[in-house]
Chains A and B, each alone.
Chain A
Amino acid sequence: MQERLLEIQGLHLNYKVYEGYLKVLNGVEFNIDKGEKVGLIGESGCGKTTTMRSIMRTLPSNAVITAGKILFKGKDILTASMDEVQSLRRNNISMIFQDPTAALNPVFKIEEIFSDIIRFSVRTSSKKLTKDEIKLKAVEALKAAALPDPERILQNYPIQLSGGMRQRVCIAMALISSNDLLIADEPGTNLDVTIEDQILRLLGNLVNERGTSIILISHALGAVKGLVDRVYVMYAGNMVEVAKTDDLFSDPLHPYTSNLFKTVPKLTGGGIPEAIKGRIPDYFDPPKGCRFCPRCDHAMPICEKETPTFKDMGDKHEVACFLYS
Chain B
Amino acid sequence: MKLLPYIAKRLLYSIFVLLGLSILIFTLSRVIPGDPARLALGPMAPQWAVDQLREKLHLNDPLPIQYIIWLTNALRGDLGESIVSKRPVIEDVITFFPASFELVIFSTIISIALSVLIGAMAGRRANSLFDNLVRVFSYIGISVPTFVWAILFLFFFGYIWKMLPTLGQLSTEFTRPPFITGMMSIDALIVGDLGAFIDHFKHMILPSVTMSISRIAQDAKILRAGMIENLKKDYITSATSFGVPESRITFKYLMKPSIIPMVSIMGMEISGSMGGSFIIETIFNWPGFGRYGMWAMLNKDLNAIIASVMIVGAFFALINIVVDIIIAYLDPRIRMVERSA
Contact surface of A with B, Cβ cutoff 8 Å: 53, 56, 58, 60-61, 86-91, 94-95, 97-99, 102-108, 113, 116-117, 120-121, 124, 157, 159-160, 170, 173, 176-177
Contacts and interface: CB of A to CB of B under 8 A. Distances in A.
B240 A121 contact: no
Interface string B301-337: 0000000000000000000000000000011110010
B257 A116 contact: no
Given A103-B235, A108-B256, A90 B242 contact: yes
B76 interface: no
Interface stretch (B34-42, B202-210, B243-251, B287-295): B243-251
Given A159-B333, A159-B336, A102 B233 contact: yes
B237 interface: yes
Interface of B: 126, 232-235, 237-245, 248, 252-253, 256-257, 260, 330-333, 336
Contact of B238 (A61, A97, A157, A176): A97
Contact of A120 (B232, B244, B257, B331): B244
Given A157-B332, A159-B332, A160-B336, A105 B235 contact: yes
Contacts of B232: 60
Nearest to B256: A107
Given A106-B331, A173-B242, 6 more contacts: A58-B237, A89-B241, A99-B234, A106-B333, A107-B333, A108-B253
Most buried by A among B232, B242, B245, B330: B242
A120 B237 contact: no
B332 A107 contact: yes
Chain A interface helix/strand/loop/mixed: helix
B121 to A, nearest CB: 16
Given A60-B232, A159-B333, A120 B245 contact: yes
A105 B239 contact: yes
Chain B interface helix/strand/loop/mixed: helix
Given A97-B234, A99-B234, A107-B257, A120 B332 contact: no
A120 B240 CA distance: 11
Given A97-B234, A97-B238, A89 B330 contact: no
Contacts of A56: 240-241
Contacts of B242: 89-90, 94, 116-117, 120-121, 173, 176-177
21 contacts: A53-B237, A58-B237, A58-B240, A58-B241, A60-B232, A89-B242, A90-B242, A94-B241, A95-B238, A97-B237, A99-B234, A103-B238, A106-B331, A107-B333, A108-B256, A120-B245, A159-B333, A173-B238, A176-B242, A177-B242, A177-B243
Given A103-B238, A160-B336, A90 B243 contact: yes
A102 B234 contact: yes
B332 A116 contact: no
B256 A116 contact: no
A155 to B, nearest CB: 11
Most buried by A among B239, B252, B253, B260: B239
B241 A102 contact: no
Nearest to B242: A117
Contacts of B336: 157, 159-160
A102 B243 contact: no
B237 A106 contact: no
A107 B331 contact: yes
A266 B233 CA distance: 36
Contacts of B239: 105, 113, 116
Most buried by B among A106, A107, A121, A173: A107
B90 to A, nearest CB: 43
